């Protein structure tokens, strides 16, 4: 029953957003409870793989004007302060069609939703600290999460292989040895969790990981990356799933990571709405809202209470589940935190380099 409710909730969530963003014929889709393809994964006509040398196969790139460049009113960015660190952002599910198990990269509806909602309301939180890279990928269609041991699992595997290919290209061709952040939401966090485990943890790349933000999915910390317990800790990860204590559906599982995005601690310390630096849902304008919600981590969940705004009303999982606003509620806190972790990482890097230079000088002077 829980899987049924989660599948129904995710479906309705995406359809509601589609209806708001693309008013018109897409609203006809709102009555569909599930998006199960009527053919097997083996019988599907798999779309061509992305070519990550092609800018069209990225939803965000530093040299492009895209929705990941959006900032709230009154927020200003010094471009010179974002050049030293990159963020690799993996978008959530925006493909809800039953036509294929995996999104063809030419699907205009999914791509537009990725651009007009995800890049704007999620990936943009990192544009004050970093150069934002967000690949398009043959994401698994929505129904796949209901069938992870069958065709859905195969679709998710194909999607992950695209994400891994995009990351490999990013590291080898675009990153040029810079520190980086890995972030994502929902299906994106699902893939980020595996990417951290297979491509970063225990590898040389781990030394360049500033932090990871795999948010909005059940992340249990088994990927080998430490959990962040303070605001300026680096080389660690944060995650949370937002809901009220009486939510009908809870996406977090017992034992999941919950780092409070207001306090940046992994304990049960409660943060009041006044400590929230600013929330925003760009579909309602570019003005930050203050005192929208506080937050507290309890039982692996990020609990929120009364929401002091009428601009955060999408609750497709039922009353009290705020999956759609895991980023939006805490926009300025995440934005500020990403800058703080980047600054801490770069300062430590500079200190290490200075120590290494001093050691080399001493060795030269002593003839060692």
Q: Report the 10 Å Cβ neighbour count for 62.
A: 18
Give me 105's structure tokens: 């990269």
Task: State the Cα–Cα distance between residues 293 and 276, nearest whole angstrom.
Answer: 7
Grouping H, G, I as helix, E, B as strand and the rest as coil, residue 209 is strand
Task: State the Cα–Cα distance between residues 13 and 324, nearest whole angstrom.
Answer: 8
Through-space distance between the first and last CA atoms of the chain, rounded to whole angstroms? 70
Mean pLDDT confidence for 112-118: 96
At 224-270, the pLDDT tens digits run 999 999 999 999 999 999 999 999 889 999 999 999 999 999 999 99
Grouping H, G, I as helix, E, B as strand and the rest as coil, residue 183 is strand
φ and ψ at 240, to 5 degrees?
Answer: -165, 160
Contact at 8 Å (CB) between 185 and 91? yes
Pairing of strands 236-237, 226-227: parallel
At 275-321, the pLDDT tens digits run 999 999 999 999 999 999 999 999 999 999 999 999 999 988 789 99
What is 25-85 written as a DSSP string?
GGGGGGG------SS-TTTS-PPPPP-TTSGGGEEE-TTS--GGG---TT----GGGGSS-
pLDDT at 350: 86
φ and ψ at 226, to 5 degrees?
Answer: -60, 155
Average pLDDT over the chain, rounded to whole? 90
Quick one: DSSP state of residue 224? S
The pTM (predicted TM-score) of the whole model is 0.88
Query: Helices 187-195 and 151-169 sit at what angle, rounded to 10 degrees?
Result: 60
Residue 356 has pLDDT above 80, yes or no: no
What kind and span of H or E run contains 17? helix 2-21
* Cα–chain center distance at 129: 15
Task: Express as a percent the part of the chain with pLDDT over 90.
Answer: 80
Residue 247 makes CB contacts below 8 A (sequence gap 6+) with 317, 318, 319, 320, 321
From 65-69, 129-133, 200-204, 349-353, the region with the lowest mean pLDDT? 349-353
Q: Find residue 226's DSSP bridge partners.
A: 236
From 70-79, 164-173, 238-247, 353-362, the region with the lowest mean pLDDT? 353-362
Which of 200, 215, 248 minimizes the C-alpha distance to 118?
A: 215
Residue 363 has pLDDT above 50, yes or no: yes
User: Across the beta sheet with 301-303, what order do the strands follow?
Assistant: 242-243, 301-303, 296-298
């Amino acid at each position: 029953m829980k899987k049924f409710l989660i599948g129904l909730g995710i479906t309705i969530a995406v359809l509601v957003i589609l209806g708001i963003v693309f008013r018109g014929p897409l609203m006809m889709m709102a009555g569909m409870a599930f998006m199960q393809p009527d053919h097997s994964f083996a019988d599907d006509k798999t779309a061509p793989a992305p070519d990550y040398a092609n800018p069209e196969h990225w939803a965000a790139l530093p040299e492009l004007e895209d929705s990941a460049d959006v900032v709230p009113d009154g927020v200003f960015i010094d471009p010179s302060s974002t050049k030293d660190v990159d963020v690799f952002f993996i978008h959530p599910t925006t493909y809800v069609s039953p036509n294929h198990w995996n999104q063809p990269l030419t699907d205009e509806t999914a791509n537009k939703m990725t651009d007009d909602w995800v890049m704007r309301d999620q990936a943009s939180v990192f544009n004050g600290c970093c150069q934002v890279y967000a690949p398009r990928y043959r994401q698994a269609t929505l129904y796949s999460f209901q069938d992870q041991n069958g065709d859905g699992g195969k679709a998710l595997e194909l999607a992950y292989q695209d994400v891994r290919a995009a990351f490999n290209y990013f590291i080898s061709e675009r990153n040029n040895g810079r520190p980086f952040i890995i972030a994502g939401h929902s299906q994106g966090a699902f893939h980020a969790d595996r990417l951290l485990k297979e491509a970063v943890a225990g590898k040389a790349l781990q030394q360049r990981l500033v932090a990871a933000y795999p948010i909005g999915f059940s992340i249990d910390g088994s990927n080998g990356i430490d959990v962040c317990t303070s605001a300026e800790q680096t080389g660690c990860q944060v995650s949370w799933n937002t809901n009220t204590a009486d939510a009908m559906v809870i996406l977090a599982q017992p034992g999941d990571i919950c780092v409070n995005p207001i306090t940046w601690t992994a304990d049960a310390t409660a943060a009041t709405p006044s400590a929230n630096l600013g929330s925003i849902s760009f579909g309602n304008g570019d003005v930050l809202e203050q005192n929208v919600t506080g937050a507290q981590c309890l039982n692996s969940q990020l609990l929120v209470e009364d929401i002091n705004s009428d601009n955060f009303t999408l609750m497709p999982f039922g009353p009290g589940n705020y999956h759609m606003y895991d980023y939006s509620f805490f926009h300025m806190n995440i934005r500020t935190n990403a800058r703080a972790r980047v600054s801490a990482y770069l300062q430590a890097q500079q200190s290490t380099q200075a120590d290494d230079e001093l050691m080399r000088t001493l060795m030269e002077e002593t003839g060692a």
